[in-house]
Amino acid sequence: MATEMFLLVLLAMASSLAMASDPSQLQDFCVADKDSKVLVNGFVCKDPMVVKADDFSLSGLDMPGDTGNKFGFNVTQANVNQIPGLNTLGISMVRIDYVPKGLNPPHTHPRATEILTVIEGQLLVGFVTSNTDNRLFTKMLKKGDVFVFPQGLIHFQFNPGYTNTFAIGALSSQNPGTITIADAVFGSNPPISDEILAKAFQVDKKLIDWLQAEFSKKN
């Protein structure tokens, strides 16, 4: 009986791990068919007889992205939306460019852990653990340094220097998703009640109204 119970526990653990990751491949590849109207968790497979090498390729990551925004950073994506061949493979990457004092503001990736390496320049990076500890782990990175942001945790990157910086990140999902905290809280559509946010942040509702007005300009 004890052996049977142990095996059941192992099976339950294995099942939970399987459900917590991207869909696993059951063949050599499953190139995303973006034209299919069928809704699945991920993308339907394209007919392998019409798959081409270009389905597994992307050009342009050698070029800096447009950092002409108020944060002074840009993320160039290389996920399943740009590379259909990544479908079911559970991996993607990004190039991130930062001007001096450029910031990738606090955000999360709900479906992926991220490992980041600085190619040129320097970055102040960090992440915050979940409630109730809310512990901040932060480190200054230089060229060649690597840092890991665990899945789902709020994290950020800031270029404190006076020269441009760029980094490459790898993520453990074909489609990691990004939730920028300030955008989600103050720029949601429709907006969250100012009464709720005022109580949550323990500030006056007028401040919340001002913040929501500022973030609504992006929508």
Binding site for Mn(2+): which residues? 107, 109, 114, 155
Annotated binding-site residues read 104, 107, 109, 114, 155
Strands, E, within the chain: which ranges? 73-78, 92-98, 103-108, 114-120, 122-128, 136-142, 146-149, 154-158, 165-171, 179-180
Annotated binding site for oxalate: 104, 109, 114
Please state, in angstroms and rounded to a whole number, the distance separating the CA atoms of residues 82 and 62: 15
Count of all residues that appear for the chain in the document: 219
Q: How far apart are the first and last CA of the chain?
A: 59
User: Looking up tokens 């709020």, which residue turns up?
Assistant: 154
Separation of CA 176 from chain center: 5
